[in-house]
Structure 1
Amino acid sequence: MYELDIAFRHISARKRLTFFAVFAVALAIGVIVVLMSLMSGFTDELMSMTIENSAHIVVSPVEGTTDYVHFYRHYSEQILGIEGVSAVSPVFTGQVALQYRDKAQGIELYGIDPVAEDAVMQIDENIVSGNFSALSRSNNGIVLGDRLAQDLGVGVGDTVSAVVPASDPASYKVVGIFHTGTPTDETLAYARFDSVQDLFGESGVASGIKVRTNDPYQAEEISLSIESSTGLDAVSWIEANRNILELLNTQAVLVWLYYGLIYLIAGFGVANTLITVVMEKRREIGMLMAMGTSRRHITNIFLLESLILGTIGVLVGCVLGYLGTVLLSSYQIDLPSEMYFGLTTLPLKLEASNFFYAIVFSFVINVVAGVYPARRASRMDPVEAIESE
């Protein structure tokens, strides 16, 4: 195929220009792969934290009717029978001041059945000290977030006091400390359901019912089924975190625009190389056309040059992107958790799709970049091209 031979000869004749064109493509691919790996890791980590550290669905009384769910045991059984629901956990919640010696913190105290709550929230996986199941064996046990425990200066075995208005303080023994990496580590504590009910002077009611589904992404549909069958209000994690999900979608659009700009810059490098070749090889192009080479074949020559430059750049760029991602992953880069939804380290995740998208878009840009110089070469007048030298 003589077009390919000519394309290779043109490329090898301008080694410096060829190097910079290939380097521009490779650098673009490498940067895109690293950024896409960062976005994949960030999105997966954020989604995992959102899904695993919150109930898939929270069932509560319809707003404006009552403060509590009555007959919560009946509703719990009813909800558990709905297709797609794997576990339920009634909870009784209230604001308390937790005190230890001269320190106090305002927190949300959750009264729970430890077995049911662990089935929904999988808290036991986040325990860093003590034992979550100890709540089942202790009427006055309490489990705290690690940042809350640090702020109060308490550890497992210490006794804290829970204070609420118009009620006597209740003493709780710390039996466990958990870490989720979210702001709840500073504002949340768990105690026995009946114990918290007694503290607030209530009985036979729950503040709400937490629900875990087999497929978290079906939570929206299941919440509608719960509302229609119970008459209660059911809010899925998707609805509760809609702002975060919309932010991720908006961020994805902006990032793809950024990717496009990087590819365009690399495409200009390829186009510049090919235009320079066209200007330098005008006489050769004219002679080829005078010998009977069709304009289509002339166009093919320069499109092949664009594809060759792009292919070499893509291969080198994939290697650079892989090495860059692996190198960054090997270092723990700390992040301020309050700025990145609780993420404390820079998350990176290598995915085959990242390389696929980078390769496809790179080839598209390179072909587009080669169209203008290819058409310009094919439209030359053979006589003028030969006499230009």
Structure 2
Amino acid sequence: MSLLAVLNGVATAHLRVRARQTVVATLGVAIGVGFFLAVSGMMVGSQKDFVRTLVDSAPHIIVRDEQRRPAPQPGLEVFPQAAVAIHGLRPQEEVRGLKDWPAMLADARAVPGALAAASLNGAVTVAFAGRTAAVALSGVDPRLEGRLAKIDESLVGGALGDLEARPDGIIISRPLADRLGARLGDTLVVTASTGALQRMRIVALIEPDAQAGFYAGDTVAYGLLRTAQVLFSRPNIVNQIHIRLARSETAQTQAQTLEARWGYKWESWQERSADILNLLVVRNVIMYAVILAILIVASFGIYTAVSNSVADKRRDIAILRAMGFTVGDIQAIFLIEGLLVGVLGALLGFAVGTGLLEILASLPLSMGGKPLVLPLDRGAPQYLLAGGASLAAALVAAWLPARKAASVDPVTILRGAA
């Protein structure tokens, strides 16, 4: 029989002798692991669902006719080391719009799996029945824009493709239509900042819906790209390019590469959502700190069980030492005790956690009168993390009394027993 089998047999015998305490310690670990899985599954699932909605609701990269840094002054370029001071300079009126945008569009589409479309955005005023509202009108290509962001899922009464059939069509949000007193099919008077005026018919409404995954806001409207160019008196001009990549996680890298090539501001979804992503990191730190604290509290049961085992088995430890067992062998026996309790507790905790996740998934929840299903993460990483954390806590809890057991002097114990 191998030494490991002997040590395992001794540890198992110790646990069986104190069966009630072993069961209590195992249940403590199981409850800790179960709540670990339930809480982390709910939090991580909601985070993944939120990020997925964030990624799907808008293009992965948006190019704007902006520069990250102001253009250098010619005088400072001519005399870079001179004591030159420029005051009161009024910059020349800059023609807005993306220069050489067809080449930029082609370059973006050259990225494997990428889809890109141009758009023209500007401020307009919409009027209906004596009521007016300021709106940011986006002139888009309906054939492509709907594939860049999940717009059609939030539309009622029509689709983005209806703009192709009706060049004078416009899509606005339902809250804005309600404030104007307009309905689907009504005609709005749209006035651009240039003074140009055009009548546009409502072909669809954007419905604010948390389940749809897209809502740009009450002040955003969509129209045909050609119509927007006429309205803003900017033929063949665009001021934004929207890009969707095959892999959203590469958006930051691709944006930096293309920005270095073209100079305009290429903004990835990670950059646009940096504040939100940072909050999610803080949220995860707090979440894992709390649920790890639960496991640490559960590990005190293991510490108590192993400590009591050491106190009760001092004479047995002395006999084992007299038989030739080393200090390391004695430590290993009590570490195995803690490990066995941790493994049994983790396995039972997996069952408890799975049951709790099933209960959470079946809760009859609703939001805005519509059924709501909690997004839960049941992936293997959560189980591995919970199991690994429970085993680590069990080993640490067993190690302290194991050290005490290894320090027992067999001569003193046996002499006292005699």
Pair 1:115 & 2:119 matched: no
Q: Secondary structure at the match of 1:214?
A: coil
**C-alpha distance in structure 2 between counterparts of 1:149 and 1:350, whole Å:** 42
2:229 aligned to which of 184, 197, 200? 197
Does the Cα contact within 8 Å between 1:98 and 1:163 map onto a contact in 2?
Answer: yes
Q: Secondary structure at the match of 1:58?
A: strand
2:29 aligned to which of 25, 29, 33? 25
**C-alpha distance in structure 1 between counterparts of 2:332 and 2:131, whole Å:** 78
Q: Secondary structure at the match of 2:293?
A: helix
1:321 aligned to which of 336, 353, 362? 353
Offset, 1:347: 2.5
Offset, 1:140: 1.7
Pair 1:90 & 2:118 matched: yes
The structure whose Rg is larger is 2
**C-alpha distance in structure 2 between counterparts of 1:155 and 1:331, whole Å:** 37
Structure 1, unmatched stretches of 5+, are 337-343
Counterparts of 1:142-181 in structure 2 under 5 Å?
142-149=170-177, 155-164=183-192, 167=195, 170-179=198-207, 180-181=212-213
Offset, 1:6: 2.8
- 1:277-302 per-residue CA deviation (whole Å, 9 max, x = no partner) reads 21222233333334444333322221
**C-alpha distance in structure 1 between counterparts of 2:133 and 2:15, whole Å:** 70
Pair 1:220 & 2:252 matched: yes
Does the Cα contact within 8 Å between 1:21 and 1:266 map onto a contact in 2?
Answer: yes
Pair 1:251 & 2:288 matched: no
Offset, 1:345: 6.5
Query: What is the match of residue 340 of structure 1?
Result: none
Pair 1:270 & 2:302 matched: yes
**C-alpha distance in structure 2 between counterparts of 1:188 and 1:34, whole Å:** 39
Query: What is the match of residue 305 of structure 1?
Result: 337
**C-alpha distance in structure 1 between counterparts of 2:364 and 2:96, whole Å:** 45
Q: Secondary structure at the match of 1:186?
A: coil
Query: What is the match of residue 58 of structure 1?
Result: 62
Pair 1:380 & 2:408 matched: yes
- 1:198-231 per-residue CA deviation (whole Å, 9 max, x = no partner) reads 3334333222111222222222232234334434
Q: TM-score, normalised by structure 2?
A: 0.80
Offset, 1:154: 5.1
Q: Secondary structure at the match of 1:211?
A: strand
Quick one: structure 1 residues 154 and 185, their matched pair in 2 at CA, closer, same or farther if it must change by over 3 Å? farther
Pair 1:4 & 2:8 matched: yes
2:105 aligned to which of 70, 76, 79? 76
Q: How many pairs align?
A: 381
Query: What is the match of residue 397 of structure 2?
Result: 369
- 1:136-172 per-residue CA deviation (whole Å, 9 max, x = no partner) reads 0002212234554566565533434435556365433
Offset, 1:135: 0.8
Alignment-mate amino acid for residue 120 of structure 2: F
Counterparts of 1:101-140 in structure 2 under 5 Å?
101=129, 105-140=133-168
Relative to structure 2, which stretch is displaced further, 255-264 or 101-110? 101-110
**C-alpha distance in structure 2 between counterparts of 1:26 and 1:153, whole Å:** 59
Cα RMSD (Å): 2.9
Query: What is the match of residue 76 of structure 2?
Result: none
- 1:174-218 per-residue CA deviation (whole Å, 9 max, x = no partner) reads 222345445514332211122223333433322211122222222
Pair 1:14 & 2:43 matched: no
**C-alpha distance in structure 2 between counterparts of 1:120 and 1:183, whole Å:** 14
**C-alpha distance in structure 2 between counterparts of 1:11 and 1:148, whole Å:** 69
Structure 2, unmatched stretches of 5+, are 71-93
